[in-house]
Amino acid sequence: LVMAATRSVMRAVRVFEFGGPEVLKLQSDVLVPAPKENQVLIKVHACGVNPVETYIRSGTYARKPALPYTPGSDVAGVIESVGEHVTAFKKGDRVFTLETLSGGYAEYAVAAANRVFPLPDKLDFRQGAAIGVPYFTAYRALFQKGCAKAGESVLVHGASGGVGLAACQIARACGLKVLGTAGTEEGMNVILRNGAHQAFNHRDPDYTERIKACTGPGGVDIIIEMLSNVNLDADLQLLSCAGRVMVVGCRGRIEINPRDTMSKESSIIGVSLFLATEEERHECATAVLDGIEAGWLRPAVGLEYPLEKVAKAHEDIICSSGARGKMVLLV
């Protein structure tokens, strides 16, 4: 009865084999999933696109979903129906998710109720789709794993993307000195508008020297690293004593000299939101919702694509010249 008002089939992106962006197939006859106990069904208005989804799709990521599957975790939309024992939400509520069970690149998505959060009226659905993975990951990298403290300095490498801008906003709100890098003039301006005290163009051959001039001999306390396979070796030269590099993104191997960590007793720490405990997720959610309420958390939306252009979105998120906010699919 709950499903009666909902269409029985929907448009959804399906992946039948691992490979390049061309394996993303938009189908119009996918069955609308039904929410089970402690689950909700969301009518999706927007879904975030994350680099990790391209790694999973290519088959190169540690976690491989069973085929076929629908990608996507960060959706924003309206509750269509709820399963048994769900009391926190009702039909018509505006929400955003941290992850979905059925996949977010679709007109409807099922999610566990404890991975769904109210979307305040001050944010639209596009912004709602830019919250989940970026802000939770940024908070985890800075505080749960990086042990950031007010008064410390943080360098956000690749700061103009979804996680990068989230890290800039959170770090600035929490009293850190924020430095960010981007690959374009426009990206640098976006960083400065979103909390960075200073921005650097990582395409400049001498940009690391400029960062050193800015931080002085002390170095930078924390580096949030989105492309560790390119930057990790140089990052170790930029750190302060007891500084730490938080590895948020990586696309391959890199050679480093471990002696660089010994000379400063520095740390290289991997960050994975998938490994967060229930308590840690709750902490992230509390910080994020408080940030929205206080007004310093303002998701910056970058490129937008209709569901039909999902392959182009996956291509652009890896190959584009520079991000300018979170990439989203509009459903």
* CB atoms closer than 10 angstroms to residue 144: 18
pLDDT at 319: 87
Q: How confident is the model at residue 3 (pLDDT cuts 50, 70, 90)?
A: very low
Domain residue ranges of the chain, discontinuous segments joined by +: 9-130+299-330, 134-274
Distance CA 70, CA 53 (A): 10
Stretch among 6-15, 110-119, 183-192 having the lowest mean pLDDT: 6-15
8 A C-beta contact, residue 239 and residue 264 = yes
Stretch 54-74: mean pLDDT: 94
Q: What's residue 323's pLDDT? A: 75
| Per-residue pLDDT, 265 | 97
What is the share, in percent, of the chain residues with pLDDT greater than 90? 92
**Kindly report the CA angle at 287 between 282 and 293, in degrees rounded to 5?**
125
Average pLDDT over residues 75-81: 98
Interstrand relation of 239-247 and 267-270 (parallel, antiparallel or unpaired)? parallel
Q: 229-283 pLDDT, tens per residue?
A: 999 999 999 999 999 999 999 989 999 999 999 999 999 999 999 999 999 999 9
pLDDT digits (tens, 9 = 90+) for 97-128: 999 999 999 999 999 999 999 999 999 999 99
Q: What is the mean pLDDT of the chain?
A: 95
pLDDT at 32 over 80: yes
**For residues 27-54, average pLDDT:** 96
Buried b (16+ CB within 10 A) or exposed e, 52-68: bbbbbbeeeeeeeeeee
Closest CA to 109 of 51, 66, 63, 45: 45
Residue 214 three-state SS: helix
| pLDDT tens per residue, range 291-329 | 999 999 999 999 999 999 999 999 999 887 777 889 999
CATH T-level topology, domain 134-274: Rossmann fold (3.40.50)
What whole-number distance in Å separates Cα of residue 172 and Cα of residue 179?
10
pLDDT of residue 206: 94
pLDDT at 20: 97
Residue type, 271: V
| Cβ-proximal residues to 244 (8 Å cutoff; 6+ apart), any chain | 146, 147, 221, 222, 223, 266, 267, 268, 269
Neighbours of 51 (CB within 10 A): 23
The pLDDT assigned to 7 comes to 66
Confidence of residue 185 (pLDDT cuts 50, 70, 90): very high
What single-letter amino acid sits at 228? S
* pLDDT at residue 62, rounded to an integer: 85
Q: Quote the CA–CA distance of 271 and 91 in Å, as a whole number.
A: 35
- Contact status, residue 297 vs residue 275, Cβ threshold 8 Å: no
Q: Give the confidence band of 1 by pLDDT, cuts at 50, 70, 90.
A: very low
Query: 41 pLDDT exceeds 90?
Result: yes
Helices (H) and strands (E) counted in the chain, each on its own, are 10, 15
Q: How confident is the model at residue 6 (pLDDT cuts 50, 70, 90)?
A: low
Q: How far is CA 272 from CA 204, 247, 327, in A?
A: 30, 9, 20
* Residue closest to 128 by CA, chosen among 283, 272, 329, 305: 329
Angstrom distances, CA of residue 64 to CA of 71, 98, 111, 226:
11, 19, 19, 21
- Give how far Cα 102 sits from Cα of 57, 76, 107, Å: 15, 14, 11
Q: Is the pLDDT of residue 155 over 90?
A: yes
Q: What's the CATH fold of domain 9-130+299-330?
A: Quinone Oxidoreductase; Chain A, domain 1 (3.90.180)
Amino acid letter, 39: Q
